[in-house]
Structure 1
Amino acid sequence: MNLNPLSFIRSVTSHREKDVFKSTQGKLTRIYSGILMLFLILFIVIVYFVLHFVIMQNQEKELQTLVNQEAAYIEEYLLKNNQTDLHDMQNQEVIFAGVNQYFYYVVSANGEVMMGQEANRRIRPDILRILQEGHQNEIQKKTLSMESRGNKGEFHPSEANQDIRLIIASKPIYYKGQFIGQLYAGKDISFVYQLFHWVLIILVALGGIFFGIAIAISTSMSKRAMVPISGAFSRQREFVADASHELRTPLSVLLSSIDAMEMTIEPQKEDFSGKMLMNMRQEVKRMTHLVSDLLTLARSDSNTIELKTETFDFRSYADKALESVSPLAAAKQISFSLESPAALLAVGDPERLSQLLYILLDNAIKYTPNEGKVKLFLSGEGQELGIAVQDTGIGIEREEIKRIFERFYRSDKSRSRQMGGHGLGLSIAKWIVDNHKGTIKVSSEIGKGSTFIVRIPFGLK
């Protein structure tokens, strides 16, 4: 692998893993509040559009009824006076203003305005242009821009510079089945849109209030949902801690007994017994390591382990860790190399940081084939300790990298069992790094090896 671990150490950014229960409770809170807010938003949208539809339908119905009545009145007037066109009606007051009626016009068949009134005579050209652009016998919704206009009229006085919202209805006028003109009437519904505006503001304000209530309710619900889960986890954690603690004593007794039995057996005469005792020793040691790891994780979950903060020479601890794993490397003919300053000051818990280094080296040896290479890089530039362990092992799949720090997780369980792993080492390594406010990252390529990068700041906060 063409990789400079020391430069990679300095480029990795820090990300802390959140507490699992707080993270889960936060997700539940977001889910509950999201569901409540979804229903609230749907309620607001439905209420707003129902009000909009009902009110607008009512306004249109009132205007259409008014237009129908006025058209019928005109037709009745024509029949009563035996008039075949609208010209003789120009001086007749046959139409009366309805509620909020802004204008009305009676237009002959050739497009001539025979009679009409509006709130402001100066806007008649604008209204007639709207009528020409629209479709007859259809209710239209239009907006009149009233900038720089005076709006004092007979029917509905309006404030200057305020746009007027109109709905316009029309009705054809017939005399003995012959079309002779069209009646148009417009109604000012500006107050309706103002009502919609204030209704929307009120609904949004209520939505904001209920959003806060939804958050409070969701938080309470998520806390209640986490109570049995937290209780079960606490009982499980206590059981693991107690069981691990209790198992350490009998395992120690077993290991001592095996040592004593080996001292009394002559290997030349008892080859079978010697092999059995050696296998028993290996299994007891494996169980001892597993129990020790379980106890460490159980105590870390309950926050009963307090890390020390000391200033010490990390290089000497690195030398001891290398010496400790050397027999394992020698058994597989794996070559070691170390790049480190002669003295490397670090601030933290010496025992835990030494354990971290041992876990990373042991992991590299396990997954590196015979005659492979393992390199250890140490640096202490700036205000942090840098550790990089590089191997020429089997590598890790990209989708597996994010899960290798999970407890008991092994990408290839059969191969991991053959190599003696139980899936807790990297979990402990992650816990040590997190409690030192540091980061641990992995770079890997299948068939070429992996590099574990650790950054530990100087001093616990």
Structure 2
Amino acid sequence: MKNKWLKINWFKSSSDLFQQTQRKLTMQYSSLIMLFLVLFIVVVYTLLYIVILRDQHRELEQLTRQETRVISDYLAESARNELQGIGSQELVLAGVDQFFYYVTDADGNFVMGNEMVPNIREDLFSLVSGWVPERNQIREETIQVKFDERRIGGKEIKEQPKSDTVRLMIDGSPIFYNGQFVGMIYIGKDISFAYQLFQWLLVVLVSLTVLFAGVAIFISSVMSKKAMGPISNAFNRQKEFVGDASHELRTPLSVMLSSIDAIHMTDGVEADPFAQKLLRNMKSEVKRMTGLVSDLLVLARADSGGAERTLASFDVREEADRVIESLTPHAEANGVSLEIETPESLPVMGDRERLKQLMYILLDNAVKYSPDGGRVSLQLSEAARHWTMKVTDEGIGIHPDDQPRIFDRFYRSDKSRTRTVGGHGLGLSIAKWIVDIHHGTISVESEPEKGSTFIVTIPKEKAVSA
């Protein structure tokens, strides 16, 4: 593969974090607005549904009582104690939206009746035959009707044949004469228009919900953007401060380290064990602070977009050998053995120095947390679309509760060992950043007191096309 050298500015990871947070706030705000809107619509729809149907119930009950009184008055005037034969009399039983009415005698036999649509008496009468409603009991039924003619005002009017579903509200009332039960009257009211009204109302409310959903998302986006503004500004000022402070501290720390080396070589100091000890401690602390400042500067540049990545094709096996060779004295001083398992050659595309730093961080951590006599291994392998780095140790392991946070800055899972093993909790954060800029993933598999394995997977094509 032809070598390619590209310098790419790494976009701020914090920017992605703020965008994700803003999106979450937008979703939360819009969800709350939509929740109240949906609740409002449900309440309005339910109230209208109850009010309209209750009004229909009341009208049907009034109509039933009215027509029951008409029949009772007729029986009283004619001194009849039965309903048979009244069908031939001129009784006017009609009401607005009355789809049908039927009168039956005490035995349930049909006496008289009428319906708005002819030829469906058998179906309608089967709905009420033998039914004795309880107090305030009203039934709702649905029937299929073919409208080829309709009876209006006693006259039959021809219409174009069509089939339709009719929603009926049916009420029934007993008829008494001198305290004796003589029959029943049943009245059916067409309430199809009410359900059509509910359907249209539901369509309108759903349309308004969709419309207001877009408005809610827009308003929520504006609100979340304003809410994130002060936080974003404060974070940017913090990043600038960390970057400036880290940069300014590097020079005095370098001067201090040089001065300590100069004092160390001064006549009289070499013969004083106490002065030698103080100088060694001072030098160790200055080096530790220099490392901390360097790590802070790396992360500050990464956050601000100032960190550059140089892509090149190189053999990662060669760099791994150099890292192992460099860390071997440190590992032997801690009683830890280093092992490497890689193919003879593993050409990859990436930032040589950053990936080398990644290996240093993972291997140095493994050595620090390994017991005396422990082993640390580095494994490199490749597949068709990615290459993998694994660093395994036999150390103290990581508790499952701590594993999700080990890549956070300054996070230490075992704070009691901070001074013993050194470090400042930024190494794994930098490792995560290096993996991210190569579009890879890093994960850990660990059990307490059984060691840990860090697994880094970096895709080949994304590294090339980045």
Using the size of structure 1 for normalisation, the TM-score is 0.92
Q: Distance in 2 between matches of 1:135 and 1:452?
A: 79
- C-alpha distance in 1, partners of 2:245/2:15? 27
Matched to 2:227, the amino acid is A
Q: Deviations over 1:302-327 (max 9, x none)?
A: 11112111112222222222233222
Partner of 2:288: 286
Superposed CA deviations along residues 189-236 of structure 1, whole A, max 9, x for unmatched, are 111111111111111111111111111111111111100110110011
Paired letter, 2:322:
K
- Give ranges in structure 2 of 5+ residues lacking alignment: 1-12
The RMSD of aligned alpha carbons is 1.9
Measure, in 1, the Cα distance between the counterparts of 2:272 and 2:374.
Answer: 36
Find the partner of 1:391 among 390, 393, 405: 393
State the match for 1:301 in structure 2: 303
Say if 2:66 is the partner of 1:69: yes
Q: Is the 8 A contact 1:265 1:274 kept in 2?
A: no
Question: For residues 51-62 of structure 1, what are the structure 2 equivalents within 5 Å?
Answer: 51-62=48-59
| Cα pair distance change 1:327/1:132, threshold 3 Å | farther
Equivalent residue pairs, number = 444
SS in structure 1 opposite 2:140? strand
> How far apart, in 1, do the equivalents of 2:110 and 2:253 lie?
110
| 1:98 lines up with 2:98 in the alignment | no
Structure 2 residue aligned with 1:436: 438
Alignment correspondent of 2:6: none
3-state SS, counterpart of residue 53 of structure 1:
helix
Give the secondary structure class of the aligned counterpart of 1:161.
strand
Whichever residue aligns with residue 90 of structure 2, its letter is: E
- Whichever structure has more strand as a proportion of its residues is 2
Contact 1:437-1:460 within 8 A present in 2 as well: no
Cα displacement (A) at 1:106: 1.1
- Aligned match of 2:10: none
| Aligned equivalent of 1:144 | 143
State how far apart, in whole Å, the 2-side matches of 1:381 and 1:169 are.
78
Other structure's SS at 1:311 match: strand
Q: Aligned-pair distance for 1:265?
A: 5.3
Are residues 129 and 21 of structure 1, via their aligned partners in 2, closer, same or farther at CA, if it must alter by over 3 Å? same
Instruction: Tell me the equivalent position of 1:125.
Output: 122
Paired residues of 1:391 and 1:450 also in contact (CA < 8 A): yes
Q: CA deviation at 1:454?
A: 0.8
> Which blocks of at least 5 consecutive residues in structure 1 are unaligned?
1-15
Separation in 1 of the partners of 2:423 and 2:106? 97
Contact 1:439 1:455 in 2 (8 A): yes
Q: Report the alpha carbon displacement of residue 95 of structure 1 after superposing the two structures with TM.
A: 2.9
| Mapped contact 1:312–1:345 kept (Cα < 8 A) | yes
Cα separation, partners in 2 of 1:59 and 1:151, compared to 1, 3 Å: farther
AA aligned to 1:444 is: S
Quick one: which of 349, 355, 372 aligns to 2:374? 372
The 1:135–1:335 alpha-carbon spacing in structure 2 relative to 1, beyond 3 Å, is farther
**Residues 310 and 349 of structure 1 are in contact (CA less than 8 Å); yes or no, is this contact kept in structure 2?**
yes
Say which is worse superposed, 77-86 or 299-308, in terms of deviation.
77-86
Match of 2:392, SS state, is strand
Identical positions, percent: 51
CA distance in 2, matches of 1:358, 1:143: 79
Deviation per residue, 1:350-379 (Å, 9 max, x gap): 111111111001111111111100001112
* TM-superposition CA deviations, 1:230-289 (whole Å, max 9, x none): 011001111111111111111111111111111125576311111111111111111111
* SS of 1:199 mapped into structure 2: helix
Aligned with residue 47 of structure 2, among 31, 50, 53: 50
Contact 2:366/2:376, CA 8 A, preserved across alignment: yes
